[in-house]
Structure 1
Amino acid sequence: MLVRLTFLFVRVRLFGTMAVSTRGRVIDLRSDTLSKPTESMRKAMYKAEVGDDVLGEDPTVNALEQKSAAMLGKESGLFVPSSTMANLIAMMAHCPERGSEIIAGDKSHVYRYEQGGASQVGGIMMCIIPNKPDGTFDLQQMERMVRPDDIHQPVTSLVCIENTHNICGGKVLPLEWLEELHERTSRLGLPVHVDGARIFNAAVALGVPPARLVERSASMSFCISKGLGAPVGAVLVGSTPFIARSRRLRKVLGGGMRQAGVIAAAGLVALDEMVGRLADDHRRATAIGRAINDFKSKNYSVDVANLHTNIIFVKINPKVVESQVLADRLATVIEAEVKELGEDAVEVKTYALSNDSIRLVTYYEISDEDVNAAVKKLHYVFKECDKRE
């Protein structure tokens, strides 16, 4: 149900109009990390049986780790506070010698958004290869980057990939490319780690079991607090010896959470109840992308043909409006909007990704009603900006 908006008028000038600060409806599309636990998750958390996980005695954590490993076709799992920690643990476990080197894409999360943890904490170098728009990279170039057996050079020890690929627009890596990647890395004797924060989105988009996407990877991590809706946590999976090494690293990084079954319980519900509904998020994201293109504005566009999952990148003309200015305007309600849109005069929160693009992300709390209201808001603001050209 739409809530009645209560407005507080403030003297803020934006696009030459009076702004209105609303305490009413907000549609937050900045990220799927904003999702809150479902009612069934909250009940499971309240009733969770717990123990000391550092001692391996939390039954709920153990159940989550076992279930995760089984779903991904791996031997063992490890519950950690975040995907960033899971990736760091994996990189350190695969690269035990300081001065080892990892090959990763230049738009990858492990390179761009994890504070250089591999180098800062693990003493591991990052060898960067350009990502293509679909999230892949040139495999021949990857092979050329593998270091020779030379005492003057670091040792290439790991290849990292990301699926779905966030900064490439939630792209799902093609199965054919994954197969060729593993053929090459197998010949080179290099393990592959998958940053699979949204791996279940990829599996749903392709219509394959998630294990199919990582069957030849040495390790992978996934996040339970993004599209799956759990409040916190990630799981790292791999072989039993790999997870044993990873468990030691989790301890030194401060990831031992003791009675963590309280939050692991939500992860179990997420795996049981939230994976099958991810297609709804994809459908709603596509609906928003198509609606933006239907505006027929030359200043805003979405590559709908390559919108694979729940992440929408809107390309904008920065000569008309810069991304942060646009994001601020979308998150503001003005008097004229209220008169024209009524209760659909909502705040829409987006993420200014670069100077010429904004990102919108759907998740389970974004309904069809929200999509319709957000589209109206986008259309209103885009028309307003176009008039300034």
Structure 2
Amino acid sequence: MLRGLARAAAPALRALRARGSGSWAGVPAHVVDLRSDTVTRPGPAMRRAMAEAVVGDDDYGEDPTVRELQEEAAELLGVERTLFVPTCTMANLISVMGHCRRRGSQLLLGQDSHLHVYEQGAVAQVHLLARTYGARVHLDGARLMNAAVALRVPPAHIVQHCDSVSLCFSKGLGAPAGALVGGRADFMEEAWRLRKALGGGMRQAGVLAAAALVGLADAQQVLLRDHENARQFAKGPGSGLQELASPFCSVDPSAVETNMVMVTLDGLPPAELCQRLQAVSAEEVAQTGRAVRVLLFPWTARAVRAVWHRDVSAQDTELALRKWEFVLGQLGR
């Protein structure tokens, strides 16, 4: 009977996958998006701040909201000056170009690096090494605030070992766009020129800076909650992923330090797991009374990464875990 229902409902299921939400056989489909913290959406307070932002021409240095953000961020990061730019990619590129001004300059990155310094306190060691050879250190602060919250230290404590830093507002901080590059005053003069050369000079950018200010204001509270939800998913009391003891996947709860959970798979292709977690079946609806879609990306050939953010609640976390339990149960038959 269930197989017949599944076949009959196949067109509706395909439409549901295409839409990304909606309902399945009359049951509202609930989506838990764990692909990345880049999928966050501005909340009411952030939208209100954007609508009410006082603006000016930032390319002339006349936007008061941008100036407020740059001054607040400079104090937070412990640097002399910061500069607001459209993306963290541009912030990192400006930093690299600012440090490597001479032709033939060398840029040293870790293996498989995405201009990313991992959140493990290794920056200080790189800084001992860099000073020995007269090199400069740039910190890709894509998730710097997550690291600071997890380590229970001010961001400036991490940044102190670096010559420049970027800070992204469109990930865990929840802003729709924007990033900062920070460093010494002389370096920032060159950064301003490079922003202009790369097409990053903006006009009434205060509407974006206002969103970033809201994201900074509630970062501590929001990021702590994200980290706790990630830990609950990995090892909640008697109900975490580790407790499912599935032969198809494993997780190390001690490695869940921030908002990311890395799940290692055994005998199950990551793409197949992601597809199963995203799909809704007649059996699931009949068994649980719910239609839940969990969105994930394959991370490596044997792992998937789940990322928590402000749009994923404790209830969403529980629903995602129950969906994971259902899928693993099907695989174990």
Q: Is the 8 A contact 1:74 1:239 kept in 2?
A: yes
Change (3 A) 1:375 1:19: farther
Question: 215, 221, 224: which one pairs with 1:276?
Answer: 221
Match for residue 32 of structure 2 among 27, 34, 44: 27
Pairwise CA distance, 1:98: 2.6
Task: Name 2:25's counterpart in structure 1.
Answer: none
Instruction: Return the match for 1:104 from 97, 104, 109.
Output: 109
Shift of 1:202: 0.5
Equivalent-residue separation in structure 2 for 1:98 and 1:376 (angstroms): 55
Q: Secondary structure at the match of 2:138?
A: strand
Q: Deviations over 1:224-279 (max 9, x none)?
A: 11001111111111111111101111111111121111111100111112233311
Report the alpha carbon displacement of residue 196 of structure 1 after superposing the two structures with TM.
1.0
In the TM superposition, 1:78-157 aligns within 5 A as 78-110=83-115
Indicate conservation of the 8 Å contact 2:145/2:219, yes or no: no
Once residues 269 and 120 of structure 2 are traced to their aligned partners in structure 1, the CA distance between those partners, rounded to angstroms, is 30
Q: For residues 284-312 of structure 1, give each alpha carbon's deviation from its aligned partner in whole angstroms, at most 9, with x where no partner exists.
A: 11111121111111220112111110011
RMSD: 1.8
Q: Which residue matches 2:155?
A: 210
- The 5 A counterparts of 1:1-389 are 9-11=9-11, 23=22, 24-110=29-115, 162=117, 165=118, 172-174=119-121, 177-290=122-235, 291-317=240-266, 319=267, 321-343=268-290, 345-387=291-333
Greater helix fraction, Structure 1 or Structure 2? 2
Consecutive unaligned residues of structure 2, counting only runs of 5 or more, are 1-7, 23-28
Is the 1:10–1:20 contact (alpha carbons within 8 Å) kept by the matching residues of 2? no
Q: TM-score, normalised by structure 2?
A: 0.90
**Any unmatched runs of 5+ in structure 1?**
1-7, 111-160, 166-171
| Residues 299 and 89 of structure 1, relative CA distance in 2, 3 Å threshold | same
Q: Is the 8 Å Cα contact of residues 20 and 335 (structure 1) preserved in structure 2?
A: no
Question: Identity across aligned pairs (percent)?
Answer: 41
Amino acid at match of 2:230: A
Higher strand share: 1
What secondary structure, in the 3-state scheme, does the structure 1 residue paired with 2:221 have? coil
Separation in 2, partners of 1:244, 1:294: 54
Specify the SS of the correspondent of 1:256. Answer: coil
Aligned-partner residue type, residue 78 of structure 2: G
Measured in 2, the distance between the counterparts of 1:12 and 1:108 equals 41
Misfit runs of 4+, over 4 Å: 18-22
Question: Contact 1:82–1:232 (CA<8 Å) still a contact in 2?
Answer: yes
Q: Which amino acid aligns with 1:332?
A: A
Contact 1:19–1:332 (CA<8 Å) still a contact in 2?
no
| Contact 2:82–2:181 (Cα < 8 Å) also in 1 | yes
Equivalent residue number for residue 130 of structure 1: none
AA aligned to 1:381 is: V
